[in-house]
């Protein structure tokens, strides 16, 4: 290749990749969404869902003065906070999660709670235990309790790898898809295919540029998690690099496919949201995907974000090796190859 005279320019693949990088770093909004937003989001999520263990159970007492005795008992029990519920406000208090259970001071007491909510079932056990003990229940034995703080078991530890994966998804899809549509709208794509540029190299450069953003994109939130929350990183950095790299390629290729024909920002935005929404909801970034019924599990497991989230969590939190997450990596490789090949075929250059 060195025999080719490019008049001071690099190989086209390099120049195309550099072009994409320059366009990106000269776009302040894009930098914000890529680097600042995930950190802000993580902090907000950490505040909204603090570690569960230390939290007191909020319980409501209905019935005004009649409940004074129970009220005193529950208030004095560790791990319970009591809130008075005005009559008529019960439904709302439960719905809003203000209290997890309402005690009606009948004899024996009545518990009102939603059986489907795990917090409410916990509240029932705690309240029942406190009230029975207060009237003199004797237990056959008292178990020894050994509180263990397992590093990596907190919500925040679980959340951060998920946020990193979600960032790889949205940056990959938007970063690639949007810039392509912009170039198409400006007729720059048409101008470039009027030159001897190789189409495959243009598309490849979009993916390569993604890989170069990846290091800060992954390193910043993970370093933040380690420094601010003491998140453990049990896997090797090399394994993290490989997993995120393959993930970034997959979502870059999907972005390529989504941007392959759209001629307006509205069209590409619609397609992006349509593709990303199911993954936001189903892939287990904010809550475990295993909450969904078995019938839809195969579909959920086939989503690229599920694969990336699972692989990244396994590597970061459990110290899994690449061999252990090979199924996810194969899935992501397929999500790279198929969309890329398809995009190359149906791409609209004008």
Partner 1 sequence: MDDLAVRCDGLEKRYGDVVAVAGLSLHVQRGECFGLLGPNGAGKTTTIEILEGLIAADAGDVQILGLRWASNEQELRQRLGIHLQETQLSEKLTVEEMLRLFRSFYRGGRPVGELLQVVELEGKRRSRVGTLSGGQKQRLSLACALAGNPDLLFLDEPTTGLDPQSRRQLWEVLGRYRAGGGTILLTTHYMDEAQTLCDRVAIVDQGRLIALDSPQALIAARAEPKVVVHQGTLEDVFMSLTGRTLRDE
Contacts to partner 1 by CB under 8 A: 4-12, 14-16, 18-19, 22-23, 26-27, 183, 186-188, 190-197, 350
| Minimum CB–partner distance for residue 345 and partner 1 (Å) | 18
List the one residue out of 36, 81, 37, 21 whose CA is nearest residue 55. Answer: 81
Sheet of 57-61: strand order equals 80-84, 57-61, 101-104, 110-112
| Minimum CB–partner distance for residue 174 and partner 1 (Å) | 17
* 23 versus 129: smaller Cβ distance to partner 1: 23
Kindly state the tokens that stand for 200: 């495959």
* 52 versus 187: smaller Cβ distance to partner 1: 187
Three-state secondary structure along 55-111?
Answer: CCEEEEECCHHHHHHHHHHHHHCCCEEEEECCCCCHHHHHHCCCCCEEEECCCCCEE
* 9 versus 277: smaller Cβ distance to partner 1: 9
CB neighbours of residue 144 within 10 Å? 5
CA distance to 2, 20, 50, 64, 100, per residue, from 93 (Å): 73, 52, 20, 16, 8
Dihedrals phi, psi of 59, to nearest 5 degrees:
-130, 140
* 41 versus 212: smaller Cβ distance to partner 1: 212
| Minimum CB–partner distance for residue 266 and partner 1 (Å) | 19
| Minimum CB–partner distance for residue 18 and partner 1 (Å) | 8
| Minimum CB–partner distance for residue 192 and partner 1 (Å) | 8
User: Is 167 in contact with 38 (CB distance < 8 Å)?
Assistant: yes
| Minimum CB–partner distance for residue 23 and partner 1 (Å) | 5
* 193 versus 334: smaller Cβ distance to partner 1: 193
Kindly state the tokens that stand for 73: 């008992």
* 21 versus 245: smaller Cβ distance to partner 1: 21
Dihedrals phi, psi of 57, to nearest 5 degrees:
-90, 120
* 19 versus 297: smaller Cβ distance to partner 1: 19
| Minimum CB–partner distance for residue 251 and partner 1 (Å) | 23
- Residue 208 has, within 13 A of its CA and on its CB side, a CA count of 15
CB-based contacts of 1, cutoff 8 Å, min separation 6 = 11
């Amino acid at each position: 290749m060195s025999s080719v005279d490019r008049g001071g320019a690099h190989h086209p693949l390099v120049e195309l990749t550099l072009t994409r990088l320059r366009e990106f770093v000269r776009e302040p909004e894009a930098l914000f969404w890529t680097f600042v937003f995930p950190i802000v989001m993580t902090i907000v999520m950490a505040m909204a869902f603090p570690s569960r263990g230390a939290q007191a159970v909020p319980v409501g007492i209905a019935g005004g003065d009649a409940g004074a005795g129970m009220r005193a008992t529950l208030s004095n029990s560790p791990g319970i906070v009591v809130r008075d519920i005005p009559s008529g406000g019960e439904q709302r208090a439960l719905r809003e999660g203000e209290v997890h259970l309402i005690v009606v001071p009948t004899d024996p007491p009545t518990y009102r709670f939603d059986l489907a909510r795990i917090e409410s079932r916990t509240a029932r056990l705690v309240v029942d235990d406190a009230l029975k003990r207060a009237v003199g229940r004797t237990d056959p034995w008292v178990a020894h309790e050994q509180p263990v703080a397992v590093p990596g078991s907190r919500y925040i530890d679980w959340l951060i790898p998920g946020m990193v994966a979600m960032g790889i998804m949205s940056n990959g899809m938007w970063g690639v898809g949007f810039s392509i549509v912009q170039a198409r709208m400006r007729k720059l794509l048409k101008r470039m295919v009027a030159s001897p540029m190789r189409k495959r190299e243009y598309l490849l450069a979009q993916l390569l540029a993604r890989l170069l953003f990846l290091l800060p994109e992954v390193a910043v939130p993970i370093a933040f998690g380690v420094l601010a929350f003491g998140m453990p990183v049990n896997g090797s950095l090399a394994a993290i690099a490989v997993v995120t790299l393959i993930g970034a390629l997959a979502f870059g290729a999907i972005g390529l496919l989504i941007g392959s024909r759209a001629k307006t920002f509205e069209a590409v935005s619609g397609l992006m949201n349509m593709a990303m929404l199911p993954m936001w909801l189903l892939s287990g970034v904010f809550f475990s995907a295993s909450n969904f019924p078995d019938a839809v599990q195969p579909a959920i497991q086939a989503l690229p974000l599920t694969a990336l989230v699972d692989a990244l969590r396994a590597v970061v939190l459990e110290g899994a090796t690449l061999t252990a997450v090979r199924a996810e990596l194969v899935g992501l490789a397929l999500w790279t190859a198929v969309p890329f090949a398809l995009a190359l075929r149906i791409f609209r250059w004008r």
